[in-house]
Structure 1
Amino acid sequence: MRYTAALVLIGLAACSQPKTTMENVLKGKLKREALSVASKVPGRIVEIRVNEGQNVKAGDTLAIISVPEAEAKLHQAQGAVAAAKAQYEMAFNGATKEQLEQVNAAYTAAKEQFELARKSYERVKKMHDEKLISDQKYDEVYTKFQMASSQLEGTAAKKKEVESGARSEKQRMALGQLKRAEGALEEVNVALNERYLLAPADMRIETVAQKAGELALPGYNIFVGYAQDITYLRFTVQEEEVLKYKVGDELEAYSPFDEKVKVKAKISSIRELPGYANRSSMNPDYKPSQSLYEVKLVPVDSKAASELLTNITMVISKG
């Protein structure tokens, strides 16, 4: 009997204690910004350097992709730049000593050929005037004289061009070709740099969608994680409760499973959640349906909040 009476007293004492319920608190979640890392160029994954659950720093290499097409184009682009640079330097620096000697030699030979053709023509013309040779012979010598004259003019023009240097139009054309080749080389280098998938921020890797040896496609997410330094709390509040909160209010959130886990945070925004029907009621016999709002809080001590797990449940006392 004494044992039974003790149990009854303990039960009554327990009933007299305030009952812990969730009626006086708002439930929410600790969230972080989700980050995705995808490849910009197609290629075969050579190496995966991180595992799920691993924390990485901004700029860390997450994976390496092989892009053989870009590597082949690199040699082509380097050759095009070298050729365009040589053309550019030739256009601005003018002809070399050897080129000048070749042009002068060609001009001298053309001049001597012209003098020989001129003398032959003068002799044949006198003989033709005296009716000593036929018209056919005269026409042949005259044609050779005209050809020698044209060759001399062409060689003289070439000699003048080489001595005076390239025209400004050719110089600009050579510069344009060099810029075009350099742009192609830069494009190839950019593609080659995309072989390395880098972490965009300090983050925790949650999902690794592909393995080494698989084909990475442009825009397909290979890594998904959460930013470590962008933490916030999100609570869903009914209309009758949201009016008690203002942007800038400082609140204390804690874990319902461990009250030692506490986070001081400020309300950064309050926004209405999307609805799929008209919530208002024009019938006086019914209460109007309430809108739902999202109250977003930013931790005051972001470093301390970054040590908490993503998506844990947090509560705050109703205002």
Structure 2
Amino acid sequence: MHWKRYGTIAVALIVLLGGAYAFWLGRQSAELPAGIVSSNGRIEAERIDVAAKLPGRIAEVRVSEGQWVEAGDLVAHMDTAEIDAQLRQAQAAVTQAEQQKLQTEALLNQRLSEQEFAQAEFARAEQLAAKGHVPQELVDQRRATLITADAGVAAARAGIDLATATIASAEATVERLQSIRADAELVAPHRGRVQYVLAKAGEVVGAGGRVVTLTDLTDIYMTIFLPARDAGLLAIGAEARIVLDPIPDYVVPAQVTFVASSAQFTPKSVETADERDQLMFRVKLTIPADLLEEYQQQAKAGVAGVGYVRVDDTVDWPDALQVKLPQ
């Protein structure tokens, strides 16, 4: 029977807390002028995962949670012993191909010299044969020698083309391995604060395995939920205000940058006006980037507060919601 008693107490607490929350919301709404509405929310920031492109072992993690990093800073790097060996092998292949090309070029020069001599000998033999000083057989021999020399030149030129293609292939392999080697250096794609270190040195991660999560403190916003009657009046770009629980004396300016196109909560049937009011739409209030730049050391995600939006731009903000920032 104890569980029944505890259940009754739990239900009573829920009802009590719900009533208190409803009273608080009603009081907040009553204090706001018509045209300005509010809702609870929590500061959020875009997260950026720094992940391994290829599977491998983590050699070192260079950051710790809470650390500020700039774009391009080294966050961690993977073990590269195997890829370094492959890269050295590919670079040696490039050198070998270049030497082969030099040898083929030297061979071509030799074949060109032989061709030139064969041409001269053939021309001389033809002249002498025309005067009857040498037999036709010698002319035929000189012609065969020239044909052989021409073939040698063609083969040497083809060898140069082959050597050039071999160099290009070897250099492409080097570039591919250098790209893989570069991917082993995990760098921050954007400035921000390290939110989580998800892997340690010595761990093996798969392709796409997350190593570090960054918080982009240049894109901070509060998500609130408004009923359909208020969300329907909102325009993208409408002015907003944010008051955070830890610093209730300050009012942070913001802007409506997103209004959901569909309700986040929909009753089973929507037939009356009261039921339509239960439709809640997600709204995003974004803090200006220049303000975040100025207060980047104080900015952090997860802080709860209240978001205020102006659904009627002809209404002035009350004194309590005039922008007020820490000095």
* Residue 219 of structure 1 pairs with residue 175 of structure 2: no
Corresponding residue to 2:299 among 302, 305, 308? 308
Rounded to whole Å, the distance in 1 between the matches of 2:266 and 2:40 is 25
| Residues 253/197 of structure 1: CA separation in 2 closer, same or farther (3 Å cut) | same
Rounded to whole Å, the distance in 1 between the matches of 2:279 and 2:102 is 73
Rounded to whole Å, the distance in 1 between the matches of 2:171 and 2:236 is 53
* Residue 205 of structure 1 pairs with residue 194 of structure 2: yes
Q: Deviations over 1:216-247 (max 9, x none)?
A: 32211011121121222221112122234322
Q: Deviations over 1:92-144 (max 9, x none)?
A: 676345x778x69xx9xxxxxxxxxxxxxxxxxxxxxxxxxxxxxxxxxxxxx
| Residues 21/318 of structure 1: CA separation in 2 closer, same or farther (3 Å cut) | farther
Rounded to whole Å, the distance in 2 between the matches of 1:159 and 1:255 is 90
* Residue 237 of structure 1 pairs with residue 191 of structure 2: no
Corresponding residue to 2:24 among 21, 25, 35? 21
Rounded to whole Å, the distance in 1 between the matches of 2:88 and 2:273 is 81
Gaps of 5+ in 1: 1-19, 108-149
Rounded to whole Å, the distance in 2 between the matches of 1:315 and 1:225 is 25
Gaps of 5+ in 2: 1-22, 29-37, 119-139, 311-327
Q: Is the 8 A contact 1:53 1:206 kept in 2?
A: yes
Rounded to whole Å, the distance in 2 between the matches of 1:226 and 1:52 is 11
TM-fit CA distance, 1:258:
2.5
Q: Is the 8 A contact 1:279 1:288 kept in 2?
A: no
Matched residue SS, 2:76: strand
* Residue 291 of structure 1 pairs with residue 279 of structure 2: yes
Q: Is the 8 A contact 2:227 2:279 kept in 1?
A: yes
* Residue 175 of structure 1 pairs with residue 164 of structure 2: yes
Q: Is the 8 A contact 1:203 1:228 kept in 2?
A: yes
Rounded to whole Å, the distance in 2 between the matches of 1:260 and 1:278 is 38
Q: Is the 8 A contact 2:44 2:221 kept in 1?
A: yes
Kindly provide the amino acid, as one letter, of the partner of residue 253 in structure 1.
I
Rounded to whole Å, the distance in 2 between the matches of 1:268 and 1:227 is 17
Q: Is the 8 A contact 1:250 1:265 kept in 2?
A: yes
Kindly provide the amino acid, as one letter, of the partner of residue 21 in structure 1.
W
Kindly provide the amino acid, as one letter, of the partner of residue 94 in structure 2.
V
| Residues 217/154 of structure 1: CA separation in 2 closer, same or farther (3 Å cut) | farther
TM-fit CA distance, 1:180:
1.5
Corresponding residue to 1:49 among 47, 52, 62? 62
Backbone CA RMSD of aligned residues: 3.7
Rounded to whole Å, the distance in 1 between the matches of 2:144 and 2:217 is 75
The structure with more radius of gyration: 1
Rounded to whole Å, the distance in 2 between the matches of 1:53 and 1:160 is 74
Corresponding residue to 1:261 among 238, 245, 250? 250
Rounded to whole Å, the distance in 2 between the matches of 1:67 and 1:285 is 65
Give me the TM-score of the superposition, normalised by structure 1: 0.67
Rounded to whole Å, the distance in 2 between the matches of 1:290 and 1:212 is 50
Give me the TM-score of the superposition, normalised by structure 2: 0.66
Rounded to whole Å, the distance in 1 between the matches of 2:219 and 2:243 is 19
Kindly provide the amino acid, as one letter, of the partner of residue 293 in structure 1.
F
Rounded to whole Å, the distance in 2 between the matches of 1:277 and 1:259 is 33
